[in-house]
Chain A
Amino acid sequence: MAIDQAALGAWLADFADQIHQGADQLTDLDREIGDGDHGSNMDRGMKAVAALDPNDFASGADYLKKVGMTLVSTVGGASGPIYGTFFLRLGAAWSSVNDAPTLGLALRAGLDGIQQRGKATTGDKTLVDALSPAVEAYDKQADQGISTALAAAAGAAEAGRDATIPMVAHKGRASYLGERSAGHQDPGATSMTMLLEAAAKHLS
């Protein structure tokens, strides 16, 4: 196994920390184009995740599935089933992860799960605009090892996040605003970028 449970725990503890520190920013972004709850919802969910001890689980797969179910039951907004599905799919694929290419497959399984759940595609001004280019960038660098590939993924997520600013939302609460959603960075793409930046720091 390339990535042990302690590393997974460190990754998600860092993400929980980023979310907590960025909660006001995420909520402000969401207040511009949504219902203003993304920061507080994700903070509540990730606090519950951070309270889990990765060593209590028989495997990394079990831990990731529990992370998914915890988010499903504690986030409350659409990010609950969306991030929840990401971690459930990652968990389902985890037993075959043993190198950089297989981690890429697991990340893609998570992306596919998110797209099936939310029916969003790139350009809809959602977290898919950060995660989809990140998975593509990861795959291109997968032969260079996990650290290099994840660094490329985080960079692509940041660019994807920034690219959501001029977009008009087609999914979620922001889509009610139509053209008025343009000019604001998508909060979901912002939190997803935090997740990938934390992954690049802790997984190798």
Chain B
Amino acid sequence: MIGIVVVSHSHALAVAAVDLALEMVKDSSQPMIQVAAGLDEQTFGTDASAIAQAISQLSDQDGVLVMVDLGSAILSAEMALEFLEPALAGKVVISPAPLVEGLVAAVVTASGGADLAEVDQEARLALSAKQQQLAPASAGNSLKVQATATTVSSDSSTTAKAAEVPPAATTPADEASAADNDQVSAEQARQFRWTIRNPHGLHARPAARLVTGLRGLQATISFRNASSGAGPASGGSLMGIEALGLRHGDQLVADITGPDAQVALDRLTALAQNDFGDTTA
């Protein structure tokens, strides 16, 4: 698992952001996190030496992602890399993601065992998920990045990526006929449909449980919001799933392929029936 260093001007801000992010994952799967924030608990500031020390404490991890707030946090983190042994500095990435959203995405993704590049990428998407929710029209650039990363076009009857949708599987063209079934089976391909019952929709915490619950399987899972047409989003991407904007009453569609497709379907069904860990009362 990779480790995470949180760099902020404010010690209190960093500690609170870590608490917020760790709420998303079980104790047993939490990544190692070090805080290098504030000159002390009261004084705002960043310290390149302290950041280098925090990274060194995670040297036995599979990589280190450094989350930063602004200004000197960025300069100090860059300087800290120059203080490290090249071998260690080589497995450290400073994330350009916004601190809070990026940290949540990074913690959830890291807890599933994703490598440094994948966690870094997922943290970067944290900004576009927020943009999509608040300003869909103006967020075009970052959304394009996300769309190409997940490869399947949502409304066309031509499948954009054959590998993810084998010939035997239902194609989007079959959607109307498949709509009355909960599950459509095919050789190593499954489809899952679920109407979201969570009163607040599939917000960050249930979405995080969905991502972590489906980790480690040999299956490609692609989620869509059939009610709004949003998606697809990779099943491993918390930010992609959040960007689907699944609200109460929306229909979630998952296309699953790969050797573990049935296991994934079973897990997905169990997660959904449990409302992704939310109490819906």
Contacts and interface: CB of A to CB of B under 8 A. Distances in A.
B79 interface: yes
Contacts of A37: 44
A118 B75 contact: yes
B49 A77 contact: no
A23 B78 CA distance: 27
A173 interface: yes
Contacts of A78: 71-72, 75
Main SS class of interface, A: helix
Interface residues of A, number: 20
Most buried by A among B48, B71, B75: B75
Contacts, number: 54
A56 B75 CA distance: 30
Given A78-B75, A118-B75, A41 B45 contact: yes
B50 interface: yes
B71 A81 contact: no
Contacts of A84: 48, 79
Interface string A72-87: 1111111111101100
Most buried by B among A41, A78, A79: A78
Contacts of B228: none
Contacts of B257: none
Contact of B45 (A76, A85, A173): A76
Contacts of B45: 41, 75-77, 80
A76 B73 CA distance: 9
Interface in B188-214: none
A172 interface: yes
Contact of B71 (A74, A85, A117, A173): A173
B48 A76 contact: no
Q: Nearest 5 CB-CB pairs, A to B?
A: A76-B45, A78-B72, A81-B75, A81-B79, A76-B39
Interface of A: 37, 41, 69, 72-82, 84-85, 117-118, 172-173
Interface of B: 9, 39, 43-50, 70-72, 75-76, 78-79
Given A72-B79, A81-B75, 12 more contacts: A37-B44, A72-B47, A73-B47, A76-B46, A76-B47, A77-B71, A80-B47, A80-B76, A81-B78, A82-B75, A85-B79, A173-B70
